[in-house]
Structure 1
């Protein structure tokens, strides 16, 4: 989390969820939007769970990459 820029209005509780030790062992992947559905299907076909939990985009005012958790 040290290198992630977090919007100042994001509640501290939500920020802490991104680094919750209970999620240890999970895998977070960044995938181009056009490949998301195919990847989720492929993982599910192998018996793995897969969920889209957010999107990345550039912050309009700075152009810095930003993660939006959905």
Structure 2
């Protein structure tokens, strides 16, 4: 007589599935992007007016960029 016992080498699915890795990766990449945007705005704030003119930016444009929160483009 054979018994149908579950194999111990394979996990048995119980309850809800674990969070999808893709969702966690998207969240991680969003955090990294926000950190990069904040860093770029810090560098922009440190530029002198001559450098800003060379880049084609006006002081009003720089003020708008510096006033944005880190998650805004």
Specify if TM > 0.5: no
TM-score w.r.t. structure 1 length? 0.23
TM-score (norm 2): 0.23
Q: Which entry has the higher C-alpha Rg, 1 or 2?
A: 2
The structure whose residues are more often strand, as a share, is 1
Greater RCO, 1 or 2 (C-alpha within 8 Å, sep 6+):
2
Higher helix share: 2
